[in-house]
Structure 1
């Protein structure tokens, strides 16, 4: 049976199927608070997640008890919210595990639960909903349901666009799933674009963490190990070579259209500058930092320019006054 799973939305729990939200005809006799349109979806939900959370749903889907004071009522509400937050992460982890194992059908009900609990706790427009949308998109892609995956990803994109608080990890996952979507649609140019976004942001996060620590030590001419400064990217030679190959390949995709997405091109240039800086190759680091600053001065804010200027100044200082033991 080819079941289509619609986008999850807040719903009246009673008489709505837990999986597809169609009119419900069956009830779980174990918890009596979960409904299904028929035996197919009941079995699917049970095998995916319901068996694991059946009894946990009872206090969430029954009327709150009478409290003698406002303080007791607030405490009860806090407990209710904590239970929902626990279920958000638990259902998400279960769905993620299914995806790792290639069990895309099993992942869908668990991911839907995570999405609904996120809506209850964070509201309809929160960026906290995006990880669940991305899980559902990935599961849909694995099942060959391209239209369904596109709907989930559109919802995720829209939520991210409206948010001012989205982590690099979430951006990375969004681009990865968009890349997979366009690969499935055989739009390889768009797929390359989004997969490049994913990879470049991962490398930027990794190298920036190293750069922040080591640049401070170098400014003070202090080696944390009490030795002369050496190459310290945290990578071996093969990994460094692979990083350079990937990042320069991404740059070759980005630069011809840098006017359309200058921030993305600047990100790659800055990442390469940090990589070469950590590799103690000041000439290459200076080259990429200077190119990043030039592009930033044309398109980005003064604050963003200042970050790159600081990097370039540090590189230039080391070129003029090399650190010795």
Structure 2
């Protein structure tokens, strides 16, 4: 059975009121298909219908019914209900877009991020700082897709909003500079990328503190740029700071688990864990390939990975890591804490 026949059907022209045009949910071109589940969302063709379904529509299809169906009359309670549902949809679409971005599913990010932007605009109005996270999600997914011109457009929109909002907080500014740094890295303008990552770290430290994992992720991005510039000494210094911060954070989570939990519950969602895993693996590989190896640094990063896997609900992966001959010497500490705790649970 084809996709369109499963959740989509052609629009019946006579069912559309005269003068009303149905537009595609993604591109706003004239629509020819509608979702058969909510019957309130329209598409120019099966390609955009499928993209929207996979990207976000399957999560919010039924939530759209009460806010897109014409109300028989206006009431304050109905208005409140609409606002509540819009807020819920905004939260879902943002979370889905962020998760798919972490997973590298850049094409699937776009429908969710577009809906996030649309909901935020409906709730807060145009040109306000609450729209910046949506613009940045669209920009970063565009970078991932290699569409730099589109990324620049979204980034320019975000910059414009921030520039005209002098009271914009450091959390938004750090996100903006981090996204700009990634864009300039992709463009090969490494000096501009470093400048934006430095601003990212500055604003993140204002919002979260110097020793926070959000801030240290900016150090990691800076280190990657220094690697590209051939300045490995600076890069390894930054990698060390990232490893130290994550080791401290993961140790606190692990100690909390030992004291307060009787069962293993994942402390990170899948996409977050994958992002941190990739970052720590990059640092570990850089340390192992360095001409002057820092054994204690390698052990620290390996321990971070083991704790991450354990906290993510994958203790068997930890055991497999400690059984490898090349890493056993640097992971003696794991036999003391992680594996002993695993045996108890």
With the shorter chain as reference, the TM-score category is 0.5 to 0.7
Displacement, 1:176?
Answer: 0.7
Give the TM-score taking structure 2 as reference length.
0.54
Displacement, 1:205?
Answer: 3.1
* Structure 2 CA distance for partners of 1:27 and 1:192, relative to 1, 3 Å: same
Q: Which has the higher helix share?
A: 2
1:254 is matched with none
Q: Whose RCO is larger (CA < 8 A, sep 6+)?
A: 1
C-alpha separation between the residues in 2 aligned to 1:85 and 1:103? 24
**Match among 21, 25, 29 for residue 22 of structure 1:** 29
* Structure 2 CA distance for partners of 1:146 and 1:79, relative to 1, 3 Å: same
In the alignment, structure 2 segments of 5+ residues that lack a partner are 1-18, 213-239, 246-345
2:264 is matched with none
C-alpha separation between the residues in 1 aligned to 2:104 and 2:242? 31
**Match among 56, 69, 73 for residue 66 of structure 1:** 73
- What SS does the aligned partner of 2:68 have? coil
- What SS does the aligned partner of 1:17 have? coil
Structure 1 residues 100-139: aligned runs within 5 Å: 100-139=102-141
Displacement, 1:183?
Answer: 1.3
1:228 is matched with none
Displacement, 1:82?
Answer: 1.0
C-alpha separation between the residues in 2 aligned to 1:144 and 1:195? 20
User: Residues 14 and 35 of structure 1 are in contact (CA less than 8 Å); yes or no, is this contact kept in structure 2?
Assistant: no
C-alpha separation between the residues in 1 aligned to 2:30 and 2:197? 40
Q: Does 1:158 align with 2:160?
A: yes
Displacement, 1:14?
Answer: 5.0
C-alpha separation between the residues in 2 aligned to 1:41 and 1:176? 30
* Structure 2 CA distance for partners of 1:14 and 1:95, relative to 1, 3 Å: farther
C-alpha separation between the residues in 2 aligned to 1:40 and 1:172? 35
Q: Does 1:140 align with 2:137?
A: no
Aligned residues: CA RMSD: 2.4
C-alpha separation between the residues in 2 aligned to 1:24 and 1:146? 28
* Structure 2 CA distance for partners of 1:185 and 1:240, relative to 1, 3 Å: closer
Displacement, 1:112?
Answer: 0.5
Runs (4+) off by over 6 Å = 240-243
User: Residues 138 and 149 of structure 1 are in contact (CA less than 8 Å); yes or no, is this contact kept in structure 2?
Assistant: yes
User: Residues 179 and 195 of structure 1 are in contact (CA less than 8 Å); yes or no, is this contact kept in structure 2?
Assistant: yes
1:42 is matched with 49
Deviations 1:66-112 (A, max 9, x none): 25xxxxx1121111111101111110001100011111111110111
User: Residues 133 and 156 of structure 1 are in contact (CA less than 8 Å); yes or no, is this contact kept in structure 2?
Assistant: yes
Question: Which of the pair has more CA radius of gyration?
Answer: 1
Structure 1 residues 187-198: aligned runs within 5 Å: 187-198=189-200
C-alpha separation between the residues in 2 aligned to 1:144 and 1:239? 30
User: Residues 95 and 111 of structure 1 are in contact (CA less than 8 Å); yes or no, is this contact kept in structure 2?
Assistant: yes
- What SS does the aligned partner of 1:59 have? helix
User: Residues 174 and 199 of structure 2 are in contact (CA less than 8 Å); yes or no, is this contact kept in structure 1?
Assistant: yes
C-alpha separation between the residues in 1 aligned to 2:197 and 2:111? 27
C-alpha separation between the residues in 1 aligned to 2:201 and 2:54? 35
